[in-house]
């Protein structure tokens, strides 16, 4: 949600910032802007994609060795040139970029207006920079001190970078709740919402912590906290390669990420599962492993696709570990009065590790004594750091807004967790344990096999691309897959789609079925197979168009469905990792055929850092 990039050093800042903003565009793409210092502090901003801003800058050739840039996902104020970041202070001597939300901006704005400040935009961020300006002039202090004082007056979440007309080698940055990474080069610094704009320049980074303020001045980085106490920067090496954040010959990141899944799942399993030795271990879960084994219940908090992975985990933990599981939308959990007992276990699932609601939900659970396990993809992310322990997906950067390889990675990690707990508790037999390990090892090859359906899926997409509605049905482990298939389609093709447990169809959705309605049924062989065959018949009796995802060799459903897509057999608990693949491809192809922007669907953002 909003991407920020800033640079100070010896190179021309503008191209570095623009390139960085393009890498961060998945975070927001309704407008973009930069502030550059060459004599004056000049702001250039434009509604639309970063490429629109680039066109403006092309003619100007602004040379500056310092600058800040922003790509926006609107919260306060519609997407237009004026509301785009950066924002000036009244005297145009300061400018800010901001990711997050200032909750008390309205009252601050009223006070500042009473003191003569005039605002151009409707944003909360403009209030922030006026506040800093106001505090500085009232206290006659340094800019760093003014930022610190202003931060103590704002309520909300932020990652900010401030630039001043008077200091061509100083940037001030701060964070609370929204991510900020500082890349350390030779005599130069790169600041960004995540490491992707930084990786091609340096692999040494510092992740700013909440309530920290970073001042870069005359080639030196110093970090202080909100009380002005000096902090020691913890410099980390980035484990990220440039080719991981490029499209690698694919037309879209989403397609690249779909096809990467055999590899991303292999990376997720690497070193953790060695079936021949009966070895299964998650290195990140040690000290608190017993808490998980002894848990009387598990609460899972997540949003979006991660929430769907959480639903699969509910089945996994209940099946293998016999622990009751509740799966909660993080946004609902945090705003009711949830019952959390000391020692309860909370699993937070998040690709980005930055989703504001999930982060707030775990802070709430922690404050009530729960033990938090994070299942995140982004290493060093806020949720990963706020958790007691956890396991990374190791799926590599996911850039397409619609999540694909993160989902399969999440289910893989959660399956490993449930199997470990089941084994320790003795709630699964040794033979089930060993057979699950072999199945896990074979999953990447089965995903590879499922990807071979691409051509038939393209054909199905051509047939149904103009449908107005889609229904997705599944039972048992495939019910969350139905939800995920429907979400993928909605997100990127803007076709209305619903996912339902197949048996629930009779309680409502069946009324929607007519000869126009594509019904995608995930009907792989498991203990609900006979039941779902009956559900297919019910759809057919109402002339619905059945697209069935079936287990390889299933001749029975082939006779009933208009289209069948075969996937290899696996243990039913691991089937979501395989059966979701055709649904990802189907939504991708339909979106492309409809001319939609697959990687940057309208109104969405990859990382939702506002509640």
Q: 3-class DSSP state for residue 95?
A: strand
> How far apart are alpha carbons 8 and 611 in whole angstroms?
31
* Subset of residues 383 to 442 that bind ligand G6P, contact rule: CB under 6 A: 401-403
As measured in angstroms, the least distance from the Cβ of 161 to ligand G6P is 23
As measured in angstroms, the least distance from the Cβ of 303 to ligand G6P is 4
As measured in angstroms, the least distance from the Cβ of 244 to ligand G6P is 17
- Exactly one of 22, 46, 109, 606 is catalytic; which is it? 606
Q: List phi, psi (to 5°) of 190.
A: -125, 130
Strands (DSSP E) found in 267-400: 273-274, 279-280, 298-302, 325-329, 345-350, 371-376, 389-392
351 contributes a contact to ligand G6P by CB under 6 A: yes
3 contributes a contact to ligand G6P by CB under 6 A: no
Cβ contacts of residue 569 below 8 Å, gap of 6+? Answer: 524, 525, 551, 552
Measured from the CB atom, the residue of 147 and 301 that comes closer to ligand G6P is 301
As measured in angstroms, the least distance from the Cβ of 478 to ligand G6P is 19
379 contributes a contact to ligand G6P by CB under 6 A: no
358 contributes a contact to ligand G6P by CB under 6 A: yes
Cβ contacts of residue 524 below 8 Å, gap of 6+? Answer: 478, 549, 550, 551, 567, 569, 572, 575, 578, 579
Stretch that binds ligand G6P, among 2-10, 132-140, 351-359, 507-515 (CB under 6 A): 351-359
> How far apart are alpha carbons 429 and 158 in whole angstroms?
49
As measured in angstroms, the least distance from the Cβ of 306 to ligand G6P is 4
Angle between helices 143-151 and 124-139 (to 10 degrees): 120
Q: Which of 150, 196, 606, 609 binds ligand G6P (CB under 6 A)?
A: 606
For ligand G6P, how many residues bind (rule: CB under 6 A)?
16
| List of long-range contacts for 427-434, beta carbons under 8 Å, 24+ apart | 427/320, 427/321, 427/322, 428/320, 433/278, 433/280, 434/275, 434/278
Nearest to 540 by CA among 505, 522, 513: 513
Q: Which of 65, 164, 215, 306 binds ligand G6P (CB under 6 A)?
A: 306
196 contributes a contact to ligand G6P by CB under 6 A: no
Pairing verdict, β 156-164 and 170-176: antiparallel
Residue 369, judged by CB atoms within 10 A of its CB (0-12, 13-18, 19+), counts as exposed
DSSP code, position 227: T
Start-end of H helices in 59-142:
105-114, 124-139
As measured in angstroms, the least distance from the Cβ of 346 to ligand G6P is 14
> How far apart are alpha carbons 542 and 243 in whole angstroms?
49
Q: Which of 443, 471, 608, 610 binds ligand G6P (CB under 6 A)?
A: 608
**Alpha carbon separation from 408 to 168, 245, 542 (Å, rounded):** 46, 19, 34
331 contributes a contact to ligand G6P by CB under 6 A: no
> What b/e readout covers 9-27, taking b as 16+ CB neighbours within 10 angstroms?
beebbbebbbbbbbbbbbb
Terminus-to-terminus CA distance in the chain, angstroms? 10
As measured in angstroms, the least distance from the Cβ of 233 to ligand G6P is 26
606 is an active site residue = yes
Residue 78, judged by CB atoms within 10 A of its CB (0-12, 13-18, 19+), counts as exposed
Stretch that binds ligand G6P, among 40-48, 79-87, 245-253, 346-354 (CB under 6 A): 346-354
* Residue with the shortest CB distance to ligand G6P: 304
2 is an active site residue = yes
As measured in angstroms, the least distance from the Cβ of 377 to ligand G6P is 8
- Exactly one of 2, 14, 268, 303 is catalytic; which is it? 2
> How far apart are alpha carbons 243 and 264 in whole angstroms?
14
What would the DSSP string read from start to end of 519-582? EEEEE-SSTTHHHHHHHHHHHHHTT-EEEEEEETT-HHHHTT-SEEEEE----GGGHHHHHHHH
252 contributes a contact to ligand G6P by CB under 6 A: no
Measured from the CB atom, the residue of 351 and 412 that comes closer to ligand G6P is 351
* Subset of residues 480 to 499 that bind ligand G6P, contact rule: CB under 6 A: none
305 contributes a contact to ligand G6P by CB under 6 A: yes
As measured in angstroms, the least distance from the Cβ of 409 to ligand G6P is 11
Measured from the CB atom, the residue of 64 and 350 that comes closer to ligand G6P is 350
Q: Which of 164, 350, 387, 528 binds ligand G6P (CB under 6 A)?
A: 350
> How far apart are alpha carbons 54 and 56 in whole angstroms?
5
535 contributes a contact to ligand G6P by CB under 6 A: no
Stretch that binds ligand G6P, among 121-129, 229-237, 278-286, 348-356 (CB under 6 A): 348-356
334 contributes a contact to ligand G6P by CB under 6 A: no
Measured from the CB atom, the residue of 264 and 306 that comes closer to ligand G6P is 306
Q: Which of 355, 524, 551, 609 binds ligand G6P (CB under 6 A)?
A: 355
Nearest to 391 by CA among 457, 455, 500, 309: 309
Q: Report the half-sphere exposure of 285 (CA within 13 A, side-chain side).
A: 26
DSSP code, position 86: P
Stretch that binds ligand G6P, among 197-205, 257-265, 302-310, 498-506 (CB under 6 A): 302-310
Q: Which of 71, 99, 164, 352 binds ligand G6P (CB under 6 A)?
A: 352
As measured in angstroms, the least distance from the Cβ of 294 to ligand G6P is 27
Q: Which of 6, 151, 170, 303 binds ligand G6P (CB under 6 A)?
A: 303
Residue numbers of the site for ligand G6P (CB under 6 A)? 303-306, 350-352, 355, 358, 401-403, 604, 606-608
What positions carry a catalytic annotation? 2, 606
């Amino acid at each position: 949600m909003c991407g920020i990039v800033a640079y100070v050093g010896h190179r021309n800042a503008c191209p570095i910032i623009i390139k960085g903003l393009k890498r961060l565009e998945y975070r927001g793409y309704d407008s973009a802007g930069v502030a550059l210092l060459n004599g004056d502090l000049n702001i250039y901003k434009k509604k639309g994609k970063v490429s629109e801003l680039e066109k403006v800058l092309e003619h100007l050739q602004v040379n500056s060795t310092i600058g800040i840039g922003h790509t926006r996902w609107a919260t306060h104020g519609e997407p237009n040139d004026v509301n785009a970041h950066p924002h000036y202070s009244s005297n145009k001597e300061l400018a800010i970029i901001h990711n997050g939300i200032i909750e008390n901006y309205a009252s601050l704005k009223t006070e500042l207006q009473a003191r003569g400040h005039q605002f151009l935009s409707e944003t909360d961020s403009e209030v922030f920079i006026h506040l800093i300006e106001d505090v500085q002039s009232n206290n006659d202090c340094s800019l760093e001190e003014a930022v610190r004082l202003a931060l103590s007056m704002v309520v909300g979440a932020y990652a900010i970078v401030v630039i001043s007309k008077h200091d061509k080698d100083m940037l001030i940055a701060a964070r609370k709740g929204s991510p900020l990474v500082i890349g350390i080069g030779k005599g130069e610094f790169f600041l960004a919402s995540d490491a992707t704009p930084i990786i091609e320049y340096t692999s040494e980074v510092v992740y700013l912590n909440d309530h920290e303020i970073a001042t870069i001045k005359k080639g030196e980085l110093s970090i202080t906290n909100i009380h002005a106490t000096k902090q020691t920067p913890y410099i980390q090496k980035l484990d990220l390669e440039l080719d991981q954040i490029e499209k690698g010959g694919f037309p879209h990141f989403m397609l690249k990420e779909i096809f990467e899944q055999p590899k991303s799942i292999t990376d997720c399993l690497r070193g953790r599962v060695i079936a021949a030795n009966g070895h299964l271990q998650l290195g990140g879960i040690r000290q608190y492993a017993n808490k998980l084994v002894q848990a009387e219940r598990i609460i899972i908090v997540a949003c979006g696709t991660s929430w769907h992975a959480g639903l699969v985990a509910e089945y996994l933990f209940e099946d293998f570990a016999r622990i009751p599981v509740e799966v909660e939308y993080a946004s609902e959990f945090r705003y009711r009065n949830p019952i959390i007992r000391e020692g309860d276990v909370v699993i937070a699932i998040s690709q980005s590790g930055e989703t504001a609601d999930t982060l707030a939900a775990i802070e709430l659970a922690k404050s009530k004594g729960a033990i938090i396990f994070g299942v995140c993809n982004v290493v060093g992310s806020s949720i990963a750091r706020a958790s007691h322990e956890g396991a990374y997906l190791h799926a590599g950067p996911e850039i397409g807004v619609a999540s694909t390889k993160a989902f399969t990675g999440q289910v893989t990690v959660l399956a490993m967790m449930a199997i470990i707990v089941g084994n320790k508790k003795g709630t699964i037999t040794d033979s089930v344990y060993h057979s699950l390990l072999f199945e896990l090892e074979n999953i990447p090859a089965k995903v590879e096999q499922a990807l071979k359906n691409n051509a038939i899926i393209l054909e199905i997409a051509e047939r149904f691309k103009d449908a107005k509605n889609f229904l997705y049905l599944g039972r048992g482990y495939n019910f969350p897959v139905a939800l995920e298939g429907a979400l993928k389609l909605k997100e990127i093709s803007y076709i209305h789609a619903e996912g339902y447990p197949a048996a629930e169809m009779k309680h409502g959705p069946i009324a929607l079925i007519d000869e126009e309605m594509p019904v995608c049924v995930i009907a792989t062989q498991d203990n609900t197979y006979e039941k779902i065959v009956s559900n297919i018949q019910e759809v057919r009796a109402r002339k619905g168009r059945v697209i069935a995802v079936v287990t390889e060799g299933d001749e029975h459903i082939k006779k009933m469905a208009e289209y069948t897509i075969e996937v290899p057999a696996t243990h039913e608990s691991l089937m979501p990792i395989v059966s979701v693949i055709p649904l990802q491809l189907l939504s991708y192809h339909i979106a492309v055929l409809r001319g939609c922007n697959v990687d940057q669907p309208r109104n969405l953002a990859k990382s939702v850092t506002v509640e």
